Amino acid sequence: MTALDVAQLRDEFREPHELVRTSDGKILFLRSWPGTAGNDLAVLVFHGVTAYSEPYGKLIAEELARSGPNVFGMDLRGHGRSDGVRGDYPGPERLSKDLCETLTVLKARFAHVVVLGHSLGVLLAGITAQNCHALVDGLILISAGRQVRPGAHHKPAAGAALKALLGLTLFPARTWIEYNRPGMRGRDDPLFNFWYSARFYSSVYGTSAGSVVRRLRRNQIDSPNLASFGKPGVPVLVGVGDQDELFSVDSAKAFYESIGCDRKAFFVIPGARHAAFPPGSWGPLVAWLGKHYPTKSGGSGGAAGS
C-alpha cells in the first residue's frame, strides 16, 4: 500500500478520528470512540502485531466508551491509516517519539490518560512507561506474558528462516519476514499487515533482531520493554483470556507478579481467546477505571483486584 493510498483512506474515513503530526512530519491516525460528555479520562489503545485500531472498536473500545471514558486507538506507523513503510520502523528512538508525541496530544486535553496495550501493544506500553512516564496515568496490559505456549507459532520453513537471517544481517529494512500463526485473523482485510522488517522487531522489542529471533525460538518474550512497568504512583491492570492461544493464565500471572508495583490487579476473562473476547468481558476493567479515575461520568462493572 503506497503513502498516497493511505492518505486517501484517511480522507475517505467518516467515523470519529484525529490526526497527529509527528516531529518528523508524518501523520499518525487515531480512531476515536467518544465517551460520556465531560469525562476527563482518555484510554489510548495500542494494537497487536498485524492489526490496526479499527477492529478494536468491537473488541473493546465501544464497551469502554459506553461506560464513560474517551477511547482512542492509535495506528502504529506503517499500519492501518498511518503514514510510514508497511511493516517497518526507522528505529527505537522514532518509535518512542511517535508514542510519546501522541500521548502529549491527548494529555493536553484530558486530565488522565491511561495506556491500554494488547499483545504486542504491551511492549509499546512499556516504551511509554520508560520514556514518557509523566504522561501516563495508568497501564492496562491485556493478552501478554513472558512464556509463549509451545507450538503457538508455525515453525518457519528453511527458506523463511534464510530470509530472516539475511534480513538481520544485510537488509534490516526489508519487509520480508512473515508473521504467521494458527488461527490468524484479518487475512481478508487489506489494512492488516503480515510482513515485517528485522528492524521493526528490533525497535519494538528494544534489543537486537537476532536476540529477538533466538528468544522467540525458545518461546520466550524477554524484552527490556516488559521490565518498564511498576513506576511509582501508576496503577497497573493485567488481564488474560482463559482460552488464550499464546499465553496461559499461569504465564500471564507470572508476568503480573514480576511487576514491581503495589497498585496492581489481575483478572482472567472467561471464554476469551488471544484476540476474541465475549460480550461483557470488560466489566472488571471498567470497575478498575472507576476506582482509580472516578469522574461524575464514570461507569461501573464487575470486580477486579486492588
Coarse DSSP helix, strand, coil percentages of the chain, rounded to the nearest 5 percent: 35, 15, 50
Distances (CA, A) of 267 to 52, 141, 241, 244: 25, 11, 9, 13
For 3-152+224-292, the fitting CATH number among 1.20.1540.10, 1.10.40.50, 3.30.70.20, 3.40.50.1820 is: 3.40.50.1820
H helix or E strand, kind and range, residue 72: strand 70-74
Q: Hey, where are the domains in the chain? A: 3-152+224-292
Within 175-301, strands assigned E span 177-178, 195-196, 236-241, 264-269
Report strand pairing: 177-178 vs 195-196: antiparallel
State the pLDDT at residue 192: 92
Report the alpha-carbon distance of residue 142 to residue 136 in Å, rounded: 17
HEC assignment per residue over 229-260: CCCCCCCEEEEEECCCCCCCHHHHHHHHHHCC
Mean pLDDT by 10 residues, the chain (306 residues): 77 97 98 94 97 97 97 97 95 97 98 97 97 96 92 57 62 80 76 91 85 72 85 91 96 95 95 95 97 67 39
State the pLDDT at residue 177: 79
State the pLDDT at residue 304: 44
State the pLDDT at residue 216: 67
Report the alpha-carbon distance of residue 297 to residue 169 in Å, rounded: 53
Cell numbers placing 214: 533466538
